[in-house]
Structure formats: structure tokens, C-alpha cells
Amino acid sequence: MTVDTHHHLWDLDVRDQPWMTGPEMDPLRRDFRPSDLQAAIRGTSVDATVLVQTVADPDETPEMLVLAETVDRVAAVIGWVDLTARDTREQIGRLHTHPSGGWLRGIRHQVEDEPDPDWLIRPEVLAGLGAVEDAGLLYELLIRPHQLPAAIKAAGQYPQLTFVLDHCAKPPVASGELEPWASRIRALAAHPNVVCKLSGLVTQDEWAAQPDPSRLRACVDVVLDAFGPSRVMFGSDWPVCLLAATYSEVLGLTKELTSGLSDSERTAVFDTTAREIYTL
């Protein structure tokens, strides 16, 4: 059995995806609905998935909660609230009391788009993270390498809050120049309340070519060494991954890159750690 800890769904008739900029994003400028997800995972070992927010829109999360209620294999939702608002606790409370609120497991914000590298440790954001912790939710970190220092401080500030690092903080796969990303990953992993997704790496490589396992392996090895297999989880990042690889190719590549692990370690990466973190 396999848990995919990271995928998206969207309907462009309902909501624009403003992060899709430039002609290179053209393959994603269409609807990706539950039926497309079912087609993508058909024939794979994936039996549970985590649906993740894509925009800073309070209306998106309730819609995703309804999808989790009705779509086979979607087993958890990572939503969005405004962490900088005075009523963050009330926003989370409304999601919890939603008829499908039981599917909510965590909160995420597109921190990668924030111009302030210290956005995560602004006083109002730290207060928002406190509200996430008090609600019994986890927080997903969507950041880039230059924002890792702030993430390290936030993880230390809230040692009881589980942080999930998305896409390994988007390492420089294509260039292969892993520092200072690698050192910062090790510093973040030193906090036991942080886990990491092996996701989004194929789109950090050259999109026009097949993903290069040798370049990807260097990043994966850093993550596995820093966090240990028991704190690493598989994520497809579908449909964004389609810019570089199909769903089955991403799953197969991740299995190849973790082939040196023991059977129990691979089970942790692809299954048991995700079930524990997301209480599936």
C-alpha cells in the first residue's frame, strides 16, 4: 500500500490559479478533477492521498473538504487560513465545524511567494502558527532554500507543532550546487518535530528533458541522511509534476531513488509514516 501525501485538484471555471505564469505552465492550464486523479493512480499501489491547497482563498478549503467526503482515496486535506489575521483561530474553528471538517489535517500558505525571507517568524505569523498547534493541526512548509533559516527558527519556537516540509524546500537540482540548501536541510531536520516530503523534485530539474536520476539522487540522499527514512514521505505533486513526468513515472522514480533502503524503511517512506502523520 502507498500513501501519496501531496496532490492537487482544481477547476478553472470555479477559481483561477494565479501562480500559473508564463507559457511553460500551459500544460497545467486546464481542469484537474477527481476523475483525472482516479485515472492517474489507476494501476498503482496508491490507496490513499492527501489533497493540498493551491491558492490563498478561504473558499477553497471547504470545497476540498467536500471532495474528501465524496472522492474515493482522498483521505485528508491540507487547507489554508490567513495566519496573519486577528481571527485565525476563528477561521480554523469554522473549518473544524464544517460538515466535512473531520478531513482537515493541516494548514499551508505559499510562503515561497512572500518577498520577506523572514515571513515565517513575523510576530503575527508565529501567533497564527500557535493557533494551528492549539487546533491539533500540522503546518506544511512551502518554502525555497533562502527561507529555510526562518523555518528552522519557527520549528524551534513551536516544538510541539508538527511541520511538514514540502518538496524538500525546492533544492537546486538542475545546477547541482546543493549548498547552502543541504546544510540548512540538516539544521531543519535537527528539530524532531519536522518531517519531509519527497515531492516536487522532478520540476526542479530541467523540464524539457527526462528527470535525471543522478541529479535527483544527490538531493534525495541529503534528505534521507538528514531526516532518516522514518521522517520522510512520498508525494507525487500531481498534476504539477506533469510539467516533467507522469504520475507513474514520479512514483517509479521515487522507488528507484529509495531502492537502497531496507524493506521496513521503504514501507515507512511510502506508507506508514504518512498514515501516522496524517492520522489516516
DSSP states of 4-69 as a string?
A: EEEE--B-TTT---TT--SGGGGGG-S-B-HHHHHHHHTTSSEEEEEEE--SS-TTHHHHHHHHHH
Question: Which three three-digit cell numbers place residue 12?
Answer: 478553472
Separation between Cα atoms, residue 147 and residue 116, nearest integer Å: 9
- With cut-offs at 50, 70 and 90, classify the pLDDT of residue 214: confident
**What is the average per-residue pLDDT within 6-29?**
94
The answer, yes or no, to whether residue 206 has pLDDT greater than 80, is no
pLDDT at 210: 66
SS (H, E, C) 154-205: HHHHCCCCCEEEHHHHCCCCCCCCCCCHHHHHHHHHCCCCEEEEECCCHHHC
Of the listed ranges 3-7, 23-27, 203-207, 236-240, the one predicted with least confidence: 203-207
Q: What mean pLDDT comes out for the span 37-55?
A: 97
Domains of the chain and any CATH numbers: 2-277 (3.20.20.140)
Residue 208: what pLDDT? 61
pLDDT of residue 30: 96
Q: What is the mean pLDDT of residues 87-94?
A: 97
**What is the chain's Cα-based Rg?**
17
Q: What are phi and psi of 179, to 5 degrees?
A: -95, 140
Spatial distance between the Cα atoms of 187 and 57, rounded to a whole number of angstroms: 32
Q: How far is CA 239 from CA 29, 91, 139, 274, in A?
A: 11, 28, 22, 20
pLDDT at residue 111 in the model: 98
Tens of pLDDT, residues 245-267: 999 999 999 999 999 999 999 99
| Phi then psi dihedrals of residue 164, to 5 deg | -115, 120
pTM: 0.97
Give me the percent of the chain exceeding a pLDDT of 90.
Answer: 93
Q: What is the pLDDT of residue 3?
A: 98
